[in-house]
């Protein structure tokens, strides 16, 4: 049988009702996967967000991710990078309240929105929310 090993980075979003359950451990116990948690945080809406590198055979990775989806976890591939296109940003602040890590913040007293890529976990909440598409995910 082909041993198609590799690693894959994913963003996992745990809605509040599943955030307290230790389902991530099941990836190792049930599917023999190894994983590195690269970043984790809790959004203002109490949703858990985790960026994880999964290591194991492709088949096992897919089975493990399907298991998480069945448990109510949202699984998305990790974007390589998130960038702000500053000319498109009109500093409305919509993204600031959504960003779970503080990567987007409103500077005082100027009220200009600033983006700090070092704090970004690439969850893409801002990409979905920005009315002018000023936040972009680069794959
Ligand atoms: S939602 Fe878009 S336009 Fe509004 S502050 Fe954020 S990046 Fe700028
Ligand atoms: S993708 Fe956007 S909302 Fe998510 S952490 Fe990065 S800057 Fe914040």
End residue of a domain, out of 77, 95, 123 = 77
Ligand 2 binding pocket, CB closer than 6 Å: 82, 98-101, 103-104, 120-126, 135
Dump pLDDT digits (tens) for 36-77.
Answer: 998 787 776 678 888 888 999 999 999 999 999 999 999 988
Report whether the peptide linkage leading into residue 109 is cis, meaning its omega lies within 30 degrees of zero.
yes
Considering 12-21, 79-88, 106-115, the range whose residues carry the highest mean pLDDT is 106-115
| Pair (64, 13) in one structural domain | yes
| Pair (22, 61) in one structural domain | yes
Nearest ligand by distance to the CA of 82: 2
Q: How would residue 3 be classed by pLDDT, with cut points 50, 70 and 90?
A: very low
Domain with residue 45: its CATH number is: 3.30.70.260
| Pair (27, 61) in one structural domain | yes
End residue of a domain, out of 77, 101, 121 = 77
Nearest ligand by distance to the CA of 100: 2
CA of 115 to the centre of ligand 1 (A): 10
Structure confidence at residue 139 (pLDDT): 63
| Pair (24, 62) in one structural domain | yes
Ligand 1 binding pocket, CB closer than 6 Å: 89-95, 113, 129-130, 132, 134-135
Q: How many separate domains does the chain show?
A: 2
Given a contact cutoff of 8 angstroms between Cβ atoms, the answer to whether 47 and 13 are in contact is yes
Dump pLDDT digits (tens) for 69-107.
Answer: 999 999 988 876 899 999 999 999 999 999 988 999 999
| Pair (116, 69) in one structural domain | no
| Pair (134, 117) in one structural domain | yes
Q: Cα separations (Å) of 69 from 38, 76, 93, 109?
A: 20, 10, 31, 43
| Pair (90, 73) in one structural domain | no
| Pair (86, 105) in one structural domain | yes
Nearest to 121 by CA among 7, 37, 11: 11
Indicate the pTM of the whole model.
0.62
Q: Whose CA is nearest to atom 4 of ligand 1?
A: 92
Structure confidence at residue 44 (pLDDT): 65
The residue range of the domain holding 120 is 81-138
Domain with residue 115: its CATH number is: 3.30.70.20
For tokens 């963003």, what's the residue? 11
Structure confidence at residue 124 (pLDDT): 85
| Pair (11, 70) in one structural domain | yes
């Amino acid at each position: 049988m082909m041993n198609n090993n590799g690693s894959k980075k994913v963003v996992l979003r745990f809605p509040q009702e599943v955030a307290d359950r230790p389902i991530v451990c099941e990836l190792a116990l049930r599917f023999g996967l190894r994983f590195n948690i690269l970043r984790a945080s809790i959004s203002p809406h109490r949703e858990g967000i985790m960026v994880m590198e999964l290591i194991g055979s492709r088949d096992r990775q897919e089975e493990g991710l399907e298991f998480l989806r069945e448990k109510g976890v949202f699984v998305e591939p990790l974007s390589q990078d998130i960038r702000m296109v500053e000319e498109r940003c009109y500093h409305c602040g919509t993204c600031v309240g959504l960003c779970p890590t503080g990567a987007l913040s409103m500077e005082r007293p100027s009220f200009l929105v600033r983006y700090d890529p070092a704090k970004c976990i690439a969850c893409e909440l801002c990409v979905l929310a920005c009315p002018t598409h000023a936040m972009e995910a680069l794959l």
